[in-house]
Structure 1
């Protein structure tokens, strides 16, 4: 808050989170839901800030009549998250005359128009590194599910079927496969670290090269272009942020350069992969499979 502001001022903090339901009510460790509100109500009470902070917590964020839209003009702080983003576009930033701080309760601020925020002097912050282990482990799970053809096998068992050949036809060992990471930041490096014990050939592309000692430790090959990376890898893990250079990065041209029968895991942002081009590549069997925890085009 502005240091020039009066100590008697009250600030409205708008927090947009997903509904936790029964799980949220019963498990206080699920902080990112409406029911637990990131622990903010308790923090405000402990610090005796009830008179200073007006906390509005809601999941209602879409449409002109939504709670978030109505509260926005009076909000000094807006807190959102990648799983339930409240998009601060140019129109909303213009509407939020009192906004001083936009926080992502997680990693990534691509739901904020950074240029508009910068012009207004709005601080944009995120909780860097908050879920890097969870995402890295999720990547490994999805790689194994794809390569071992787990989902079709699971469906067979549930349906009382037992067609071993149909599953084995597209099930492989991960060992000796070439696995590439696009974006070797906090998450990408942890993906590489977790893949090393599988005795795979590791590759990565990033605008900034890892230090030599870490490359040797991981026995990983650096590629100076994403085009070089995708042509050699059997599996690609996307772990880069969404920005103008990465939006639609995996389009028809780049997908066509990938090895026939390769796999993609996208735990970054949906808009990094062109949905229509991906569907075409999968339907033609050029791409064997895709896994992700992101939706196109929003997150």
Structure 2
């Protein structure tokens, strides 16, 4: 059997840190296990274009493993070439780089390691929120430049305490974000989702569910996006949605870049309607050098807290999603049922409520 694994290359960092499992050098820790079992394994970071190692090797691969951090985009056109493909595994959380409708049509199983990085991402949300609200980036850049001007950075620095903070999506990550925010004594915590929380979970946090997205957008000082990318959320935060937000709102997106309209974010930040935009997800990954989210700024030269997509690939998270990937593949090889929490599509249908067309 052939297994194709698409990962990012870690270079010197991967050599110095063997626990950097999500790299081509350290191969999720599963390469030797698969080879010893007699399988052909191809590990690559080359994923762009028809002549890439990804597209050449997908033709006869039975299992594809990729990550949200360096995704191999499995479109319908690419999938049509993959005559032997039976299982796609996302080493991490988030399988929107795969055409799930096409996978259903082919009855290809798509699985991910549910919960493997939810704590890591939730912590990154809180960090980004504080970085933006406290105006940390320009304050730090000022020190690196050997300057000292308290007024220049303090004029755009605020407290989280007393703010109205809301999450779009209240699944595993959004819920944990709300849990962690309670310690900051916000004025109110809001959440919007198409599905309700379990009764015990809802009682465990001091947060209010709003009936509509518009209510959340218009009420919040800080908004964090924690929903999956699918047909119903692509471009959800567009020019019209941003216009409904308060002037001076901070927006954090660690879900998927394409949930936010690229130029709508740029224009809103540069006009000052958004006080800040931060996160680690981009609508194309890796982001090209000329991507406008790299250089966009608010009128005072602040408000940008973008980083490469690494919130869910901490060393701790990599161990969890590497182990989970091995378990999913092992279950497949032995003909065992998968953990239902890990299944996105199976037997031609959606198994997860997080994906597919949603209202």
- TM over 0.5: same fold? yes
| RMSD (Å) for aligned C-alpha atoms | 1.3
Matched residues in 2 for 1:211 and 1:12: separation?
A: 41
Query: Which residue of 234, 255, 259 maps to 1:247?
Result: 234
Q: 1:291 to 1:42 in 2, by over 3 A?
A: same
Gaps of 5+ in 1: 1-10
Matched residues in 2 for 1:134 and 1:114: separation?
A: 26
Matched residues in 2 for 1:22 and 1:297: separation?
A: 25
Matched residues in 2 for 1:241 and 1:65: separation?
A: 30
1:1-299 paired onto structure 2 within 5 Å: 11-44=1-34, 48-49=36-37, 51=38, 53-200=39-186, 201-298=188-285
Matched residues in 2 for 1:18 and 1:258: separation?
A: 36
Q: CA deviation at 1:56?
A: 0.5
What CA deviation, in whole Å up to 9, does each residue of 1:200-240 have, x standing for no partner?
12111011122344334321011111110011110001000
Matched residues in 2 for 1:179 and 1:87: separation?
A: 33
Q: CA deviation at 1:289?
A: 0.4
Partner of 1:3: none
Secondary structure of 2:64's aligned partner: strand
What CA deviation, in whole Å up to 9, does each residue of 1:180-202 have, x standing for no partner?
01110011111111111000121
Between 1 and 2, higher relative CO (CA 8 Å, sep ≥ 6) is seen in 2
Matched residues in 2 for 1:73 and 1:213: separation?
A: 47
What CA deviation, in whole Å up to 9, does each residue of 1:81-134 have, x standing for no partner?
100111111111110001111111111111111111111111111111110111
Gaps of 5+ in 2: 286-308, 310-359
Matched residues in 2 for 1:141 and 1:262: separation?
A: 17
TM-score with structure 2 setting the length? 0.77
Matched residues in 2 for 1:113 and 1:269: separation?
A: 15
What CA deviation, in whole Å up to 9, does each residue of 1:148-197 have, x standing for no partner?
00001001111122211111111001101111011100111111111110
Q: CA deviation at 1:263?
A: 0.4
Matched residues in 1 for 2:4 and 2:42: separation?
A: 5
Matched residues in 2 for 1:287 and 1:28: separation?
A: 40
Secondary structure of 1:218's aligned partner: coil
TM-score with structure 1 setting the length? 0.92
Matched residues in 1 for 2:9 and 2:284: separation?
A: 21
Secondary structure of 1:74's aligned partner: coil
Aligned residues: 285
Matched residues in 2 for 1:281 and 1:166: separation?
A: 22
Structure showing greater Rg:
1
Partner of 1:4: none
Runs of 4+ off more than 4 Å: none
